[in-house]
Chains A and B, each alone.
Chain A
């Protein structure tokens, strides 16, 4: 436990040092999407009986919690390949599970911070949604899943370039196709079948439904929790492997 907290504290210290830069970087993307898609393209458009801006904000929450949780992979890569601090963790008397937990917690914290930024931007744009327990549970599950995936992939890659490649192949397509900007059920059936396999589609669905005050889909929660657990265990195994 203390090892996990040490790892988490280190990530928090780094986040604190770069807080305003991080905050700015977390705000720029959502702001651009809001202006381009929400205020520009989506003006006057209604989706599922709501304004496009109202539809978009929960989608951005899902997307941003995914990208920010996954961004912990970059921090791990910098620590591993550039500063070589990973060696310091490996030489410490802490279990690999503590390392993974600390990094996943850090990824989840970053994700929650970015979600807070989007909610604030939404409020400033006049969008008032419901942010109750099940909304936050969905955000946490989504962040946990992608932070675990981030640790897993950060241990597998051999360089920064590999990491960028994985982001381009996994995260960017999911960000655009996972029900963030449009309802998945408007796609052709074959595309829907593919998109429904993506965890972000489920995350966007439950984040949106809870933000709109509807009953959450328990299956999506269970799916995110199960997949997150599998990825967490995989991350642990990958840390063991990365030792060599």
Chain B
């Protein structure tokens, strides 16, 4: 048995792993979220002591992070943890209160136009022009990113085919389903062939079938060479898609590493059981160890594999999903 997932014993286990502000869940040769040299050319996204205040509310409290080229990076945290604020700063929709943010080496404030050219954004809320058709939405985006006419036309054809809505190119947005609108948003974000694609809760409110279709699309985009920065509070989404994960809690990054490494710190198997009316989770390195524990088990239980939700709960004492 590795650890009791009850609130008190959990904290004591984690205290051994925690640094002052960031839980050291990262591999030794990986970036751990410390300030990085601005000369590091490999990083596509770099945040240095980034803070953001909305009047009295501190949305970000000194975030340090680096995302490498071609990486599919998931930024996980509960609602209000600062995920969208980070994306807004990186894509030029908000200014940081202090600290620096770089996109493909361009400072988001000092070189804002260059930085914006590198980014494609799929925001959390659908922000398509409902009066216009699918093609017109993409065309306006291409114009905003200074694409020549011929290039725009070819790219629209290519992308509508890619996201599987070629036959709806002349349909007004208002006639499309939620899933189709999401795909149009992905196509629009890819119009100008950005180096980094920001996906802010891309599957929120979608049914499981469409969600999986979006996941496949995201995987394909990454395989084509793009760097993807994904925020989500769907744990399974991050587990399925991400190569590396950062946990954000109340404006601070509390852990950064690969999902596998993060989960391995807790064990392989998790046993949820009711003890004195409270649910507790116990982690095991092997199924056999779990089975041995189960012999002594009296009440109801669930044996399952460790997931990222367990890690988040372990780090923060709270769940990711609302």
Contacts and interface: CB of A to CB of B under 8 A. Distances in A.
Interface of A: 2-3, 5-7, 9-10, 13-14, 17-18, 79, 83-85, 87-95, 243-244
Contacts of A14: 129, 131-132
A93 B113 contact: yes
A92 to B, nearest CB: 4
A58 B202 CA distance: 53
Nearest to B126: A84
Interface residues of B, number: 28
Interface string B97-120: 000000000000000111011010
Contacts of A88: 127, 141, 144
The binding surface of chain B is classed by DSSP as loop
The binding surface of chain A is classed by DSSP as helix
Contact of A93 (B93, B94, B136, B146): B146
B246 interface: no
Contacts of A6: 140, 143-144
Given A87-B123, A243-B94, 11 more contacts: A2-B143, A6-B140, A13-B132, A14-B129, A87-B93, A91-B93, A92-B141, A93-B145, A94-B113, A243-B93, A244-B94
Given A93-B113, A244-B95, A10 B140 contact: yes
A79 B129 CA distance: 8
A90 B119 CA distance: 12
Contacts of A243: 93-95
Given A83-B128, A87-B123, A88-B127, A2 B113 contact: no
Nearest to B115: A93
24 contacts: A2-B146, A3-B144, A3-B146, A6-B144, A13-B140, A14-B129, A14-B131, A79-B129, A83-B129, A83-B130, A84-B123, A87-B93, A87-B121, A89-B144, A90-B93, A91-B93, A91-B121, A92-B141, A92-B144, A93-B112, A93-B113, A93-B116, A93-B146, A244-B94
A90 B127 contact: no
A91 B119 CA distance: 8
B117 A93 contact: yes
A244 B59 CA distance: 13
B171 to A, nearest CB: 13
Contacts of A18: 131
Interface of B: 91-95, 112-114, 116-117, 119, 121, 123, 125-132, 136, 140-141, 143-146
A93 to B, nearest CB: 4
Contacts of A10: 129, 132, 140
A14 B136 CA distance: 10
Given A91-B93, A91-B121, A5 B143 contact: yes
B95 to A, nearest CB: 7
Contacts of B114: 93
A89 B117 CA distance: 12
Contacts of B113: 93-95
A87 B116 CA distance: 12
B141 A90 contact: no
Nearest to A2: B146
Nearest to A8: B143
A90 B132 CA distance: 19
Contact of A91 (B92, B95, B125, B131): B92
Nearest to A92: B144
A51 B131 CA distance: 43
A85 B146 contact: no
Contacts of A79: 129
Contacts of B125: 84
Contacts of B127: 83-85, 87-88
A5 B130 CA distance: 20
B59 to A, nearest CB: 12
Nearest to A88: B127
B27 to A, nearest CB: 33
B140 A9 contact: yes
Instruction: For the complex of A and B, list the 4 residue pairs with the smallest distance between their C-beta atoms, beginning with the closest.
Output: A6-B143, A92-B144, A84-B127, A93-B116
A11 to B, nearest CB: 10
A7 B140 CA distance: 8
Contacts of B143: 2, 5-6, 9
A162 B172 CA distance: 29
A91 B113 CA distance: 9
A92 B130 CA distance: 19
Given A13-B136, A14-B131, A85-B129, A94 B144 contact: yes
A53 B130 CA distance: 41
